[in-house]
Amino acid sequence: MKEGTRVDDRYRSLLHKAARRGYPEWVFTASALIESMGAAAAAWFEARTAAIVFAECWPIGAELLFTRGIHSKVAALIRSAGHQKNRDATGLGLLAYALDRGDTTLLDGHCDDKPLRWLARAIRRPAGFWEWAAAHEAGRDQKALIENAHRFRDSGRPHDRAVAMAAAYLALTTRPPAVQPAPPLEEGFPFWVVFDRHTAEGERALKDVARDLHIPLHQLEWSLFYYEGSIANAEVESSWWRTYCRWHFRKLTCCGSRHGSSSSRPWRKKANSSKTSSTAGNFHIRTLSTP
């Protein structure tokens, strides 16, 4: 459990992955568990709900009408879980955040870097960005999304704030796409994905696997995320998310090569694909799920 939030990391992980993968019943369960933890957890839950919505389906950010109780936040997560996922705000926000932190390797000519440079400067001077956004002419839904993003401008982790800022930027510079309901799921929720590197159990298992298979730990952690943890139901084409994934895969491949590890091979295959597949992660699934 991380200090300051008072929310069990397993509950945090379950909440996000249930919303991302489209399992409303487990969104309900995780929400109830978090609500039982008291007022501090309730305050965290509101900010986390907004972060999840902006990250997984940024156009729904226009619909964040929160009341004092937990029900309005759960409703927003349920709506996100049951609809298509669009992660352009996540991709653009994370790229701009990396650029703001001095990583210029993403400026390789493979994408339009003007939005990245603009948002990276905005991350440094957020007050000016929000003044610009508020003064910009926009439709009703666009204004609602910008107001919601502004309301949570200081919430969550720094990269969560960058994603919310990217959602506001996309709302003003593009036409927010219509979000369609996702088809019903037939498979049960894969509970093992909850135990990622952010949980004590997942961290311990990953270290054991990395040691036994002689795989760089950071590569194994990210392979678990990209091959399984980041899987979303009914994901639509998100060019900024694809750009971010390909850039990050190239970085991880270079790191693997420097370590002299052959584990970089599946990264190259993944970097050239626009679809998420769990097949390449099946070995890790079996290993991590072994008692």
* pTM greater than 0.95: no
For residue 110, the model assigns a pLDDT of 63
Pick from 154, 221, 290, 203: nearest CA to 1: 203
User: Which residues of the chain have a pLDDT value below 50?
Assistant: 1-4, 257-291
Pick from 17, 22, 18: nearest CA to 82: 22
What pLDDT, in 10s, does the model give residues 116-125?
Answer: 999 999 999 9
For residue 261, the model assigns a pLDDT of 42
For residue 38, the model assigns a pLDDT of 85
For residue 111, the model assigns a pLDDT of 72
Last-in-domain residue among 81, 111, 139 = 81
- Residues 27 and 44 both lie in one domain: yes
What pLDDT, in 10s, does the model give residues 276-291?
Answer: 333 334 433 333 343 3
- Residues 69 and 108 both lie in one domain: no
For residue 5, the model assigns a pLDDT of 56
Domain membership of residue 76 (yes or no) is yes
Tell which phi-psi region holds residue 262, choosing left (phi > 0), alpha (psi between -120 and 50) or beta.
Answer: alpha
Domain membership of residue 231 (yes or no) is yes
Last-in-domain residue among 81, 104, 125 = 81
Last-in-domain residue among 173, 206, 240 = 173
- Residues 159 and 209 both lie in one domain: no
Q: How many domains does the chain have?
A: 3
- Residues 133 and 154 both lie in one domain: yes
d(CA 233, CA 219): 24
Which CB contacts under 8 angstroms, 24+ apart, belong to 175-178?
A: 176/58, 176/59, 176/62, 176/141, 176/142, 176/145, 177/59, 177/86, 177/236, 178/59
d(CA 173, CA 115): 10
For residue 216, the model assigns a pLDDT of 93
The answer to whether the beta carbons of residues 6 and 38 sit under 8 Å apart is yes
- Residues 215 and 261 both lie in one domain: yes
| CA torsion through residues 257, 113, 98, 86, sign | negative
Range of the domain at 151: 88-173
The answer to whether the beta carbons of residues 246 and 275 sit under 8 Å apart is no
For residue 255, the model assigns a pLDDT of 59
- Residues 152 and 115 both lie in one domain: yes
Helices (H), the chain: 9-21, 24-35, 39-56, 71-81, 88-100, 114-124, 126-135, 140-151, 158-173, 200-213, 217-224, 239-258, 265-271, 282-288
The alpha carbon of 20 is separated from its chain's Cα centroid by a whole number of angstroms, namely 9
Domain membership of residue 179 (yes or no) is no
Please calculate the CA angle 57-60-63 and round it to the nearest 5 degrees.
155
